[in-house]
Structure 1
Amino acid sequence: MNSFKIYEAEVIDRALKINDTLIISDIHLGYESTLNKQGLMLPQIQFDKIIDSLENIQKKAKASSIILNGDIKHNFGRIDKQEWREVLSFIDYLQDIFIDIDIIKGNHDNFTQYILNKRNLHLKNHMIIDNYYITHGHELPQEIPENIKTIIIGHEHPCISICSGRRVEKIKTYLKGTWQNYNLIVIPSFTQISYGSDILHEKTISPFIEDINNFEVIAVEEGDIYPFGYVKDIISINHELNNY
């Protein structure tokens, strides 16, 4: 399946499109340097892959605006050389493609504003498009306007594991559910290094997700879209297969 909508927002691989705006989340530029400092020598290959992915998405979307929904860089407590270089290069790339660029603050963006000052951009706590409220998802908003019907978050990095014998494949996913009286969409991470947190086996981290079992799973893989149904049903099927 190549076309799919969640609460009227269009899924284009790991990006969500509303009207003429693309939304991506959790890019985590500079992740390789953090892993290198931890002893895992990973080449700095993520930046080029992110550009390739976004170019393929934009060919389909033809959007004029983009929202980066938090965690544009990886390090919490500082800015390293890779982050300075790649964040600025990424912003320069976006400014050549999109008329408007908005960046929402994530929990990894404690020092991101210092980089954005070089391009006269400012972090925001949230964005509103029509009746959609877009926020990173690591904390609950103090107030939501009355016209809002759907909340869009990142932060969670959702994925699921597909098992075939001893082989396990992870696939990034969207989550479709509700929070209080609002529709809720959780966007997969855009980072190329980590697939994310397996929602079937790991505890969720966003305060917006109160009962993961009642969320629907929409997996994305290289542009293809796979609706998997509800989390509770996937868990039940996995349980039956493991006990067969």
Structure 2
Amino acid sequence: MKINIQHNHFQLACSGVSYWEEQKTLLVADVHLGKISHFRKYGSAVPQTAVQTNFDRLDQAVVQFQPLKIIFLGDLFHSALNAEWNLFENWFQNQKAEVILIAGNHDIIAPWHYEKLGVKVFQELHIDDFRLTHHPEEKQGSFNICGHIHPGYRLVGLAKQHLKLKCFFRSRNQLILPAFGEFTGAFLMKPEAEDQVFVCAKAEVIRVN
């Protein structure tokens, strides 16, 4: 799915990433690396193989879009350092693109760990008329692209069956990206008349309202 925002073009992928064509930039929100390891540490029955899933999906997005820049819109890591940091280091070393993190509320790992690798860390980032943040923060004069909410949408069938899917949620001055990470859940959105919802189906992104 390709959408136009302020004369810029964004591709929305079913993985939850968005590719900003004019900036050759891949936008990714709420990966929550380390969350699976955290669950396993405290006894949750999550398979060890799930740890690699986020990195495999990131690699697929990079191969698909070939970005010059990758911007994580906060909550790249779920909590403190654990074994998944080593996997992130290995993943980062294979990236040709510049990597930027906009710090989120879960990003409690000291910034120097990222800076040592070469990852730039910001609280927010302004690019032309766009303001990139972790929390949704609309401000007059700029279009906000963010994450944090983990937006989702419930589809209801004629036989009263339900399907909850993560989604991109666009309002007048804001685009909220879905959570990229595995086992992150989704918050059901309630769109107003002018809002746009793009659900992430298995093979494509579909506008539903």
Query: For residue 171 of structure 1, what is the amino acid of its counterpart?
Result: L
1:60 to 1:84, Cα distance in 2 relative to 1, 3 A:
closer
In the alignment, does 2:28 pair up with 1:29? no
**Equivalent of 1:213 in 156, 179, 192:** 192
Distance of aligned partners of 1:112 and 1:190 in 2 relative to their CA distance in 1, 3 Å threshold: farther
Q: Which amino acid aligns with 2:201?
A: E
Q: SS where residue 42 of structure 1 aligns?
A: coil
Q: Which residue of 1 aligns with 2:103?
A: 105
Q: How does 1:55-66 map to 2 (within 5 A)?
A: 55-66=59-70
1:234 maps to which residue? none
Corresponding residue to 1:194 among 178, 184, 189? 184
CA-atom RMSD in angstroms: 2.5
Aligned pair 1:130/2:128, yes or no? yes
Pairs aligned (count): 201
CA deviation string 1:177-216 (max 9, x = no partner): 03xxxx100011110223422225xxxxxxxxxxx53422
Q: Which amino acid aligns with 1:32?
A: I
* Distance in 2 separating the partners of 1:54 and 1:149: 28
CA–CA distance in structure 2, aligned partners of residues 122 and 154 of structure 1: 18
Partner of 1:87: 88
- Is the helix fraction higher in 1 or 2? 1
Structure 2 residues without counterparts, runs of 5 or longer: none
Identical aligned residues as a percent = 20
Query: 1 CA distance for matches of 2:110 and 2:30?
Result: 13
- 1:17 counterpart residue number: 19
1:145-171 Cα shifts (integer Å, max 9, x gaps): x8x531101001001123455754321
Q: Aligned AA for 2:125? A: M
| TM-score computed with the length of structure 1 as normaliser | 0.72
In 1, Cα distance between equivalents of 2:47 and 2:85: 17
Q: Could you report, residue by residue, the CA deviation over 1:99-130 in whole angstroms, capped at 9, with x for unpaired residues? A: x1111100001225243143133420112222
What is the distance in 1 between the residues matched to 2:49 and 2:28? 19
Residue 43 of structure 1 and its aligned partner are, at CA, apart by 1.9
Partner of 2:169: 175
**Rg (Cα) greater in structure:** 1
Question: Which residue number corresponds to residue 160 of structure 1?
Answer: 153
